[in-house]
Structures are given as structure tokens and as C-alpha cells.
Amino acid sequence: MVYTSKNLQDEQVKRQSSISALEKALISVLTRIGVPSDNQRITDVSSSVVDVLYDSIPDTDFSNIEPNSRMVADLGAESIDYLDIKMRLEEVFGVDKIPDDILGIQVDYKPLAKRDEGKLVLISGKETEFKSRFISIYNSLSEEVRSEFDKTLDFNYFFSNFNVLGIALGLYRYIVSQNDIKK
């Protein structure tokens, strides 16, 4: 696709619309559950979640990223996209490790990759640069290192039952709690 200033303006309008919808939904949930809200943090979390999802999930359009968009069914995310999303959010917010449950991880045993003759091979989903790099790095490890790595990473994580608002809410509460601890 050739980008023109009109395309870029349209993307910015869609992006801002996604961010605004997520901000409103986040404020509504926080109010309903009695958690004090910080408008600047809500804006930071909302814009970061929208941007990270847009950058991490292939073929995602800003207009698809709505508070109730489900990660797999609506956005087409796959289990390996979760790692990319998580690492990007950790980088954006400067935290070492966001716990899986904060981002609403659900386990559903639908593997994305399998081991074939000791190597990891993609068995479903779209090929992306991140997946290719991950598989290439994994396959370059020695068998001993791969074995240790496998103990810490379950390739069957599949985050199909949570949505964009769930990520934003978990992340907001985690960031607030981390900042409260630092004070």
C-alpha cells in the first residue's frame, strides 16, 4: 500500500478513536469497581496498549482495536504474538516482568508450533518476522539449552479468552501498584 497524507490522517483518526474508546471504557470500569483513576496514566496505558497491539499483530487495523475486541477471534493474535506484546509493554512501561495474569493470559491447549526432529516448526497461523526470528533463535540453541528453555516456556499458551479492555485494566492496576510500592 502506498501511503499518502490522506492515508496517514485516516490512520491517526482511527488510532485516536481507538484510544478514546479504550480510555472511556477503562474509566467506566475503574469507577464501577471503586478504583481511583489517574487520567494521565489512563491515557498512557490506553495509547500504549493500542499502539503495541497495532505493531504486534499482523494485519491489524486501528479500527479493529476496540475495548471488547478479543485477541484471537477479532484481532487474529496468536500465542507467539503474546510474547511480543508482553515484551513491548514491559519496555514501554520500564518494568522487568509483567506477570502473565496481569495481561489476562488464558491457557487453551492449541499449539502454534511443534517440534520436528528436535527443531521448532510453525504449524498454524501467519508467518511473521517476530515468529521467524523466535523460531530461528530457538532452533540455534543447543539441545541442552532448549531443554532448559522448554521448562520455562509453555508453547501452548493461547490467549483467546481476553480482550483489549482486560489488558488495559490489568496493566493499569499493575502500573499503579508498582508506583505505589516505589513511593
Whether residues 148 and 166 fall in one domain:
no
The per-residue pLDDT for range 150-170, each reduced to its tens digit, is 655 544 333 444 678 888 888
Rounded CA separation 176/171 (Å): 9
CA angle at 122 for the pair 133 and 170, rounded to the nearest 5°: 70
> Does the residue 105 lie in any domain?
no
Whether residues 21 and 93 fall in one domain:
yes
> Does the residue 171 lie in any domain?
yes
CATH assignment of the domain containing 70: 1.10.1200
Strand partners, 120: 115
Whether residues 16 and 87 fall in one domain:
yes
The per-residue pLDDT for range 72-86, each reduced to its tens digit, is 778 888 777 888 888
User: Grid coordinates standing for 1?
Assistant: 500500500
Nearest partner of 56 among 73, 79, 24, 23, judged by Cα: 79
Domain containing 11: what range?
5-98+162-182
> Does the residue 139 lie in any domain?
yes
The reported pTM is: 0.66
Whether residues 36 and 78 fall in one domain:
yes
Whether residues 169 and 144 fall in one domain:
no
> Does the residue 157 lie in any domain?
no
**Total domains in the fold of the chain:** 2
